Amino acid sequence: MQRRSLLFLTTLLMLIVGIVPMAAAQAQDGRTVIQLSVPQFMKQIISDQLISDFEAANPTIKVNVLTNDSNTGSAASGVDALLTASQTYASTADVLFIDNSNLSVQATRAGYYLDMSPLTNSDTALNAEDFIPGVWQSFQWDNGIWALPVSTDIIILTYNPAAFDAIGLAYPNERWTIDDLDNAARKLAVVDASGAVTTAGLSISNFNVQWLFRSLLGKGFYDASTTPNAPLLNDPNLQTLMTTWSTLVADGMVSSQGGFAAADTIPMQIGGSRTLGRRPGRDQNQVTLSASLLPGGGAGLNPQGFAISSGTQFPEQSYALVKYLTSSPDVASNFFGISPARQSLVGASTSNNNGPGGNGGGPVFVGPGGGGLNNLSEENKAVVTQALASGIPLSEVRFGDYVTAALSKMSSDGSDAQTALQTEEAQAVADLQSADTAKTNNPVVLATPVPEVVLQAGEVSLKFGLNSFVAPLPNQDKWNQLVADFTANDPQVKDIKLDVEARGGNEFAATDDCFYLPYNNVPGIDLSTVINLDPFIDSDSTFDKNDVIGNTLSLITRDSKIWAYPLALQPVALEYNSDTFAKYNVPAPESGWNINNFADALKSIKLDPSDAAPFASREPGGTYLLMLIAAYGGLPIDYRTDPPTVDFTSQTNIDAIRQVLDLAKNGYLKYDQLARNTFTFNGDTAAETIYDTTLNGFSFRGRRGGGQATVGQATTSGTTTAYKLTTYPTGTDLSAVSYDVTTAYISATSQNPEGCYRWISYLSKHPEVLNAMPAFHSQLADVATVQSANAANYYNLLDNLIQQPSTVVFPSQTGGGFNSPANFLLQYWMNRAFDNYVLNDGNLEQDLADAQTYSTAFQECVANIPPFDPATQDRRQFFTQYGQCAQKADPTISGLFGGGG
């Protein structure tokens, strides 16, 4: 759960006006305005009804809900950055969502958060005993109460019993010592003939190492005899733990990989509770994980809660909101909690579908009397219950990040544990002194609430949904300016509320007037929830259908009607390291290249067989292979027909497939297993010279160089290496492109569809806000002025390539094309043949023939399935029919769809 937001301009402005008192925040009706900041995943949980109920019970208060995904970082990585980020976050709202990522002892020492103890001590209605004891204590230190908890996760040890049984090893238990853990990790690890570890025996993140050490040590990393507490790291017992652990890590027995991916392969892991519901293993070989308390007998309590900014002018009203939120079953059932903080809420009914149980309308929590996560065994439920009852508070791992920093120091420069801990303890003391200084020099000034727009007769307000994984938007200022410009000139729409959330089309359609999605949802959206745009487009003199690039209009057409407005394209591009090309005297593909140029470049760059593959796909699935196969003249799956035409056995296609796969076998293309039962992203490779990337200004996956770089802008990665955009290589008979379209929709329930259309049309003429490729030919000329010359060059190359009659368009993996179960399965059988050839030196012709047989039988079966009707059918049950057809065609595929029946 990493949430990043460093609003440097805001911080600068606060520093400038820090000594000026802020005017009281009041709504137009005279109510006190309290701003509430929550992360993306809680935006749907903090519903309009939830806020309305609070306002009805507190008629003098109005609540504004803001979205902010903040991760303030760790002091061990730099206290100045931590304090700046913490001050910025505390300045965004009166009431702030809090967890381990954004509340630190340095931030409380700097005075950025309000100590709530005077409020809780005077609150006779607050029953502190209602909270799980360890959770209640989690946000308390230095005689202060810095947040009230709403929910909690637990940090425990989970393991695959079959792996232990296979080597005759006793299962983990709370009596384990560090030596027991060391022994198990070494015996469970998989080591190849050369002695290299291929699968670690234990998976754990740096944060969870702190919990492990706290459990084994039996005490916190601070001096409880002083107030405020000072760090106390230089402990002989901790030194012993770190020495053993450092050796275990150096020997390759520990992986930092976590979550579901680790559950698939690594037999033992220490982390949160959600993997307990995971059934790892591929295809039919699934197993169930078991749970134990941590070695040393503890379990971590990793809570979420709400704090109050020290900059608030309304502490009592803010406290009332905090109490209300922590008393709500809906809020307490957030995605990252396994239990509410309040014991009275365990087993309470909730309308929230986002909690651990995911069963809106029923109890969602494990614990005494709880009914959630019903897929857990009784043994695992007992471990969870014990962990909640006697868990270690989050406050007990204060200064734990300095412990992990000491471990890193031992690894990087060979320091012994004592020296490393002494160094980090001194650093922790210095950082607290910096925090004390910041309290005096950098007070928190709360951002002024955005004033309400008072609408006159005939004027309207629009609620416009924006699907984004990041909030606030990276270019929020540009969006605000665009809204201001539009509303200043539109005769009717005088207010647009941007609703930034990571939601789908059907969800936005239920609550917003119109909305934007960074993908094409037309194939899957419930058409009854949106408006057909043909009448608007037909009467719009500025919309020229011939100006739309490629087959974009066909992508947003369903039942012969247009349901979405095309805003921008998301092409799959190649980025290449121009410095590396120059180093090896390889011509840079600034004007594009053909497949022979591409293959020659790979072979010219990889001169030593031991060198890393120069090309690595970073996109999900195997589209990159299909595009290269097309350049060699092959088209094993032709998506230009409906259903797709499958031809795995013609000699032309076999030859083209073999040419591409041989590049992978010979180490020129980094190849990862493709035929698996999960939709996964291919791993990034630091040494790659060429990689593919989907260009999208809202992408949640960082491009080369990190961060959300402007599309086409050369970025750096520690050196002056410059990555530039180009197209996939072309072929003599065929060439390939792949792109999705970002789209806007008008909800069927909107009271102002005409205003929505005018706004969407206006938005389409400003591709600089979307930071993506325009969907219209006429806008390409302006790209260089708002993005980069490299982006403009690439867009024109792609536009020309799309217009060629020999160019085949593959649907985007992240759009509507590949996301159907039928297309997934067709690729699955093909990919299985590819995997066997590349990874196992299999018989390509025979495996492709088998794939053809399975695909043909499957397509004949699914042809009899009626189209999905979202109004009357459950999507999971509908997909089950595809699973049944797949198993009928290929019995070995059992388990891919969870049993199919």
pLDDT at position 260 over 60 = no
The pLDDT of residue 355 is 45
Q: What number is the average pLDDT over the span 544-566?
A: 95
Q: How far, in Å, CA of 798 to CA of 792, rounded?
A: 10
The pLDDT of residue 451 is 74
**pLDDT tens, position by position, 821-843:** 788 888 999 999 999 999 999 99
pLDDT at position 731 over 60 = yes
pTM: 0.74
Name the amino acid, one letter, at 134. Answer: G
Q: Which of 28-42, 107-121, 170-184, 741-755 has the lowest mean pLDDT?
A: 28-42
Integer CA distances (angstroms), 821 to 314, 364, 473, 885, in order: 53, 30, 32, 11
pLDDT at position 360 over 50 = no
Q: How far, in Å, CA of 407 to CA of 432, rounded?
A: 21
pLDDT at position 574 over 80 = yes
DSSP assignment string, 453-491: P-PPTT-EEEEEEEE-SSSS-TTHHHHHHHHHHHHHH-S
728 CB neighbour count, 10 Å cutoff: 28
Q: Which of 230-244, 263-277, 315-329, 759-773 has the lowest mean pLDDT?
A: 263-277
Q: Which of 27-31, 36-40, 402-406, 408-412 has the lowest mean pLDDT?
A: 27-31
Quick one: tokens of 626? Answer: 């299909």
How many residues can be counted in the chain? 901
Task: Provide the CB-side half-sphere exposure for 535 (13 A, CA).
Answer: 5
Q: Angle, to 10 degrees, between the axis of helix 651-665 and the axis of helix 623-631?
A: 120
Q: Which of 274-278, 297-301, 672-676, 748-752 has the lowest mean pLDDT?
A: 274-278
Q: pLDDT band for position 6 (50/70/90)?
A: very low
Q: pLDDT band for position 708 (50/70/90)?
A: very low
Q: Any alpha helices (H) in 731-843, and if so which ranges?
A: 753-764, 767-770, 783-786, 789-802, 821-840
Three-state DSSP class for residue 517 = strand
Q: 686: which DSSP letter?
A: T
Contact in structure between 306 and 44 (CB atoms under 8 Å): no
Q: How far, in Å, CA of 226 to CA of 209, rounded?
A: 26
Contact in structure between 776 and 766 (CB atoms under 8 Å): no
pLDDT at position 374 over 60 = no
- The partner residues of 894 in beta bridges, in order of sequence, read none
Q: Does residue 117 come out as left (phi exceeding 0), alpha (psi in the -120 to 50 range) or beta?
A: alpha
Q: What number is the average pLDDT over the span 98-103?
A: 93
CA neighbor of 152 nearest in space, from 336, 397, 383: 336
Q: How far, in Å, CA of 440 to CA of 428, rounded?
A: 19
Q: What number is the average pLDDT over the span 258-282?
A: 66
Q: 45: which DSSP letter?
A: T
pLDDT at position 361 over 50 = no
**pLDDT tens, position by position, 446-458:** 877 777 788 899 9
Q: What number is the average pLDDT over the span 780-789?
A: 79
The pLDDT of residue 896 is 55
Integer CA distances (angstroms), 535 to 183, 202, 493, 563, 754, in order: 71, 60, 20, 11, 11
Q: What number is the average pLDDT over the span 618-642?
A: 93
**pLDDT tens, position by position, 77-86:** 799 999 999 9
pLDDT at position 492 over 90 = yes
Three-state DSSP class for residue 658 = helix
Instruction: List the Cα angle 519/523/526 in 5-degree steps.
Output: 100
Environment class of residue 220 by beta-carbon count within 10 Å: exposed (0-12), middle (13-18) or buried (19+)? buried
Contact in structure between 318 and 58 (CB atoms under 8 Å): no
pLDDT at position 336 over 80 = no
Q: How far, in Å, CA of 637 to CA of 623, rounded?
A: 11
Q: How far, in Å, CA of 685 to CA of 106, rounded?
A: 35
**pLDDT tens, position by position, 743-768:** 999 999 999 999 999 999 999 998 77
CA neighbor of 342 nearest in space, from 587, 528, 580, 131: 131
Strands 268-271 and 202-204: parallel
Q: What number is the average pLDDT over the span 307-334?
A: 95
Q: Which of 278-287, 300-309, 589-598 has the lowest mean pLDDT?
A: 278-287
Q: pLDDT band for position 354 (50/70/90)?
A: very low
Q: How far, in Å, CA of 719 to CA of 723, rounded?
A: 12
The better pLDDT of the pair 459, 3 is held by 459
Q: What number is the average pLDDT over the span 732-746?
A: 95
Name the percent of the chain lying above pLDDT 70. 86
Strands 561-562 and 557-558: antiparallel
Q: What number is the average pLDDT over the span 412-429?
A: 96
pLDDT at position 362 over 80 = no
The pLDDT of residue 878 is 82
Please state the φ and ψ torsions of residue 406, each to the nearest 5 degrees: -65, -40
Cβ-proximal residues to 665 (8 Å cutoff; 6+ apart), any chain: 671, 837, 838, 841
Contact in structure between 372 and 359 (CB atoms under 8 Å): yes
Integer CA distances (angstroms), 436 to 106, 538, 649, in order: 8, 64, 72
Please state the φ and ψ torsions of residue 441, each to the nearest 5 degrees: -90, -25
Three-state DSSP class for residue 665 = helix
**pLDDT tens, position by position, 857-895:** 999 999 999 887 766 777 778 888 888 999 999 998 865
Quick one: tokens of 486? Answer: 């539009």
Three-state DSSP class for residue 204 = strand
pLDDT at position 710 over 80 = no
Name the amino acid, one letter, at 600. Answer: D
